[in-house]
Amino acid sequence: MTWLKRIGLTALAIVLIGGVAVYAFQARIGVWLFERGTAQRMGVDNLAALGDGLHVGLCGTGSPMPNLDRAGPCNVVIAGKQMFVVDIGEGGAETLNVMGLSPGKADGLLLTHFHSDHIDGFGPLMLFHWTRGSSTAPLPVYGPSGVEAIVGGFNAAYATDNTYRIAHHGTAVVPPSGAGGIARPFEMTGPTTVVLERDGLKITAFTVNHDPIKPSVGYRFDYKGRSLCISGDTKKSPNLEAVCKGVDILVHEALNPGLVQKMEAAAGADGQGGAAKIMHDIQDYHTSPEEAAESAQAAGAGMLVLSHLVPPLPSRWLYAAFLGDAESRFSGPIVVGEDGMMFSLPTGSKTIDRSRLI
């Protein structure tokens, strides 16, 4: 036997012995890995780590259509140490936790409208706000007139569960006064209304066109010389373009009609008439990527971030098809949003910093 063969057999024996050892001790190794990972994750507080400025994170870039990689519509805006969630689609609250942004520290939720996919994550959000922060007051929920019914309905649905939590964990961990949400309605008597001004942050709601869904609004955030807008669901909106003049970032919904039409045709060919009708109908009250780019250009935005993406995009290889010729209609950068993205606007600067929290 040559020395090369001996070395090869020795190496193979070491690999086999190592494999057997790993298999034999995989439970212990798994516990060690879990313990180590848990210790690291439990200590993550990205809210504290962010510098002073205005920040917007994407805690949900999906839609009602199934997409395992994207939670429902959810944005998180941080101004200094204030944190507001804008819309809360299914899975959004869980994604916030994974991003290291504890819902227990949320100062409020702002709703753009009351479509189910923009509110169906509200239950977990208000539960985490209560239990993660031992909150002594309910989560404030800002929205146009009608938000009272939404909050009241979720409070009623969770009332029995609240009693279980209190009985199990005790009032020191889950103070009864902190359960649920509390509605903070505002009236849209004109194209804009100031929702909140506090500690240098100004939040302005503005009307958008999502007919027949009324009321529907977007939000502008201004903090220490930096600004951003979140469109909510809308057709191409002249009011958005006017209100969002000069913002650093425009986060805008986007639906590609050509791709949705292919889904419509496939559903029709398969005999799914109802699904085909829905695919047809949703095309008339959303904005295409090209139209969102035109709005960003008209507003003079520094960056366009597309979110609430329709149809689902399971691969980045689809991004070019989704964008169409949007990039030719806006002179700034366009980002196809993904869950976990964070965009930061430091005070005293013109920069836009990008990071990933998941």
24 pLDDT higher than 60: yes
Q: State the average pLDDT over residues 294-301.
A: 98
| pLDDT tier for residue 15 given thresholds of 50, 70 and 90 | low
Q: Apex CA 357: angle with CA 107 and CA 325, to 5°? A: 100
pLDDT band at 39 (very low <50, low <70, confident <90, very high): low
Query: Which one of the listed residues 45, 52, 107, 117 is annotated catalytic?
Result: 117
pTM: 0.92
Give the C-alpha separation, 78 to 221, whole Å: 10
How far apart CA 297 and CA 334 sit, in angstroms, is 11
Yes or no: say if 121 and 109 are a contact pair by the CB < 8 Å rule. Answer: no
Residue 117 is among the residues annotated as catalytic for this protein: yes
Taken in order of first residue, the domains within the chain and their CATH numbers are: 46-356 (3.60.15.10)
Give 52's pLDDT tier (boundaries 50, 70, 90). Answer: very high
Digit-coded pLDDT (tens) for 53-104: 999 999 999 999 989 899 999 999 999 999 999 999 999 999 999 999 999 9
